[in-house]
Structure 1
Amino acid sequence: MKKYQNILSFFLLIFTLGKAYTQSVERTMANLPEISEPLTVLDEATGWTLQDNGIWISGKNYIPNENADFNRTNDPENKLGKHNFIKIELREVLIQGEQHMVMLIYREGGYFEFETLREGWKSQEDVLYYVFKAGKLKQLLPDTATPGLTYVVNLDVFCMGKINAYDKKTYLQKIANHIQRQSVLKYPSQFTLLIVLMPVNTKQGKMIRVRFIEVFNKKSIYQRYFLPEYLPNLLAKYYYEIPYADFVQLVRRAPVYEDLISNPKTFMEYYRRGIAFFNRKNYNAAIADFERAIQLAPNEKIFLVYAYLGNCYFYLKQYQRALQAYNDAVNAKPADNEFINDWVRAVYNRGLTFFELDDINQACDDWHRAAVYGLPEAEKMVKKRCKK
């Protein structure tokens, strides 16, 4: 068991079984892919534009139009620039068992109520979204990137779109619906997104210049952007400039394990994919992977696997099965103190399961047991539910 626990230790950072009782599962359509909470966020960059007079102008979180310095009017549309963003997020989604990323660009937008007269400006916030395979993140910031050299990455998007005046309560569901439709139709996206990048060393430190280009998803059209003679022109007139460390945080902190997701074969691969399904609230798929992982290591009692399995059944309100899994987790108490806190959470969650099964005495026994180890949630439940 020791060899597996050493490998599993990385995943303790995302092991949150102690929250199982208080979290609710809100799913409007069971078959929709689940889009995760934000994994990484970028909320600041400097946009640069070269004017016709040879002078560069800049703006925070937007790339100015070429005439912005001359156009001193209050034209609201001109102030939006060539491109702008409020923040850029990366989220995760599993599509047919394969890890994808959703890049969301929240931006300022608007329209004229009277377009011909350019009067009656209505401001709004829009969101652009691009869904692509997670492995593409590695291409955005390769170890071989050389300062001063421009390179281009085609995200080869699965699907993409724009939601004008997006509703914060429903926009993720709209994106999930688009992903679902694309999965059924199985034809390539009509458009794709190219990202132009160049690391540079400046007086302000190491930066990376970035430009987004939406193009038709046809090789005959987008391949010209990759030609050596064309590359130097891509960042010659406008781009975003982002601190290199911030860009590293954006693209490298999001975990990428698409190779394991596609075709798992080992205990660890099934375990990791099970976690991915669990985090997306796809509990039935997670159960299948955790049970397969257990089959591949039948003589090893890995309490974390059983604890996750119990948590899946708990969310599905299959409390008897959850109890059985938690029993296996609790009975496989690790000898290594490094894992005790997570084992204690399994004890606590078994108490929650007993509570759902109307066995308050057994529930209190587990909560008392977990409270001895100093788990705050257990101490609260003892005070609230258990007789002194």
Structure 2
Amino acid sequence: MSPVQSSITEAKGWAMQDNGKWAYANNKIPHTDSRSNASRPGGLNQLGQDNFISIELRKIMIDDVQYNVLIKKYEDGEFEFPFLQREWKSFRSIDYYVFKGEKLKEMLPEDVPFNTPYLVDLNCYVAGKIKNFEESVFMGNRLILSSYATGVIGNFQASQAGYEDAIIRAIQDRKVGKIINDGNLILAVYPIKAKDKEMVRFKLIKAYKHENLIKIQTSPDNWRDLFEENFYEVGFNIYSNFIRESQAYFIELDKVITAYDSNYNWGLLRYQIGDYLGALEAFNKALEEDPSTDDFLIYSYRGNTRSKMGLHSTAIADFDKAISLRPKRIIDYPNWIRNYFNRGVAKYYMDNLTGACEDWKKAYDLGYGSASEYLMDFCGEKIK
């Protein structure tokens, strides 16, 4: 499973109160009881009707098909003695929903229907809940490669333990028929444009994969009613970035992977999900198809791939080649500069600190400001 590709971490939750007034809270939909909302005790009541810490999108490949994983992290808890409702224990949980990547187009249509609500049935491959999840632990003391700005994340160094493993196991069990998925998610979206403001109201509606129920829930007759009692609200740019940043990772693949572009795209996908061996094989096949390409990025990605596999010597050769293919378009220049930085990382792991510092200095002088931290921490440079 890929790292987080996009997320929403802040939203205003609104709820209609029993006194006819709207109440709101940050990242939480308040209760409908107007009197107790202001003075509810801790525990279950503080969770609101709904709440979230973050809503994230990731990607995973299932049988060579691109899927997304929507992960909602939220405050949760339970009573040690439920019948007596005593001894409340707080913890954090996750709801996850795995759906085909092509659904992203429905979540944010090209022509956004402002002032008209719409629903998207994600038709989930698998869905579930993980109570009291433990965050994956990031590995320390490791230099991070710079990512190139084409939608591939290059700095994920996390252990795939914890909730990621649980989600992957659920996908595998669904694939081999050990479990039957009856969970689903319907995304309700209401983009609003009023004067100079653009915002989006949205709801995540848990559902069952039952044909008649889905028809009723997604009927246009019910769309506007969904937003009459409660919803989350964010700026339109926040919602659109949430979808578009993840869409940037969706790559149209040819069914027969033989041409340069198809192998190149396949390599990018494998790189995103951490399958570096598969990525390397795809990049190699692409270069066999077109060994004279002047596209520096394929050498950049193959260099990053080899670095992540510990093949630093051959990674340096790839970065050398990428640097030799200076781009003609100004828009490609920032990505090209990163080759100096990433070559410096590879040299560092080859115990060539002098060479690493020279490359980081070159990257910094050419405009890659992030190299300053490495120059100060590893090379003794003083950067103002």
The answer to whether the superposition gives a TM-score over 0.5 is yes
Written as runs of structure 1 = structure 2, the 5 A alignment for 1:112-151 is 112-151=79-118
The one-letter amino acid paired with 2:101 is A
- Identify if the C-alpha distance between structure 1 residues 213 and 317 changes in structure 2 by more than 3 Å, giving closer, same or farther: same
Structure ID, larger Rg: 1
- Identify if the C-alpha distance between structure 1 residues 184 and 288 changes in structure 2 by more than 3 Å, giving closer, same or farther: farther
Deviation at residue 145 of structure 1 after TM alignment: 3.3
The one-letter amino acid paired with 1:224 is I
- Identify if the C-alpha distance between structure 1 residues 144 and 316 changes in structure 2 by more than 3 Å, giving closer, same or farther: closer
Verify the 8 A CA contact 2:6 2:57 in the aligned structure 1: yes
1:166 corresponds in structure 2 to 133
Verify the 8 A CA contact 1:286 1:312 in the aligned structure 2: yes
Deviation at residue 381 of structure 1 after TM alignment: 11
Q: Identity of aligned pairs, percent?
A: 26
Deviation at residue 335 of structure 1 after TM alignment: 6.2
Deviation at residue 79 of structure 1 after TM alignment: 2.6
Written as runs of structure 1 = structure 2, the 5 A alignment for 1:188-267 is 189-201=181-193, 205-256=197-248, 258=250, 260-261=252-253, 263=255, 264=257, 266-267=259-260
Partners of 1:370 and 1:73 in 2: CA distance? 55
Verify the 8 A CA contact 1:86 1:107 in the aligned structure 2: yes
Verify the 8 A CA contact 1:206 1:243 in the aligned structure 2: yes
Q: 1:315 aligns with which of 287, 308, 311?
A: 308
- Identify if the C-alpha distance between structure 1 residues 367 and 80 changes in structure 2 by more than 3 Å, giving closer, same or farther: closer
Written as runs of structure 1 = structure 2, the 5 A alignment for 1:49-198 is 49-70=15-36, 72-74=39-41, 76-169=43-136, 170-185=162-177, 189-198=181-190
Verify the 8 A CA contact 1:135 1:256 in the aligned structure 2: no
Partners of 2:339 and 2:15 in 1: CA distance? 56
The number of aligned residues is 346
Deviation at residue 108 of structure 1 after TM alignment: 1.1
1:287 corresponds in structure 2 to 280
- Identify if the C-alpha distance between structure 1 residues 313 and 162 changes in structure 2 by more than 3 Å, giving closer, same or farther: same
The one-letter amino acid paired with 1:99 is Q
Q: Deviations over 1:158-197 (max 9, x none)?
A: 2222111111132222222223333333976311100111
Partners of 2:104 and 2:112 in 1: CA distance? 13
2:154 corresponds in structure 1 to none
Secondary structure of residue in 2 paired with 1:299? coil
Q: Deviations over 1:123-176 (max 9, x none)?
A: 111121222222222211213333332211011122222111111132222222
Cα RMSD between the aligned structures? 3.5
Secondary structure of residue in 2 paired with 1:131? strand
Partners of 1:382 and 1:123 in 2: CA distance? 42
Deviation at residue 379 of structure 1 after TM alignment: 6.7
The one-letter amino acid paired with 1:316 is M
TM-score (norm 2): 0.76
- Identify if the C-alpha distance between structure 1 residues 119 and 305 changes in structure 2 by more than 3 Å, giving closer, same or farther: same
Verify the 8 A CA contact 1:63 1:82 in the aligned structure 2: yes
- Identify if the C-alpha distance between structure 1 residues 340 and 35 changes in structure 2 by more than 3 Å, giving closer, same or farther: closer
Partners of 2:259 and 2:108 in 1: CA distance? 29
- Identify if the C-alpha distance between structure 1 residues 293 and 120 changes in structure 2 by more than 3 Å, giving closer, same or farther: same
Deviation at residue 324 of structure 1 after TM alignment: 5.8
Any unmatched runs of 5+ in structure 1? 1-33
Verify the 8 A CA contact 1:47 1:62 in the aligned structure 2: yes
Written as runs of structure 1 = structure 2, the 5 A alignment for 1:322-341 is 322=315, 325=318, 328-329=321-322, 332-334=324-326, 336=328, 338=330
Verify the 8 A CA contact 1:347 1:367 in the aligned structure 2: no
Q: Deviations over 1:205-252 (max 9, x none)?
A: 322221221111122221112223232322222222222222112112
Deviation at residue 302 of structure 1 after TM alignment: 3.5
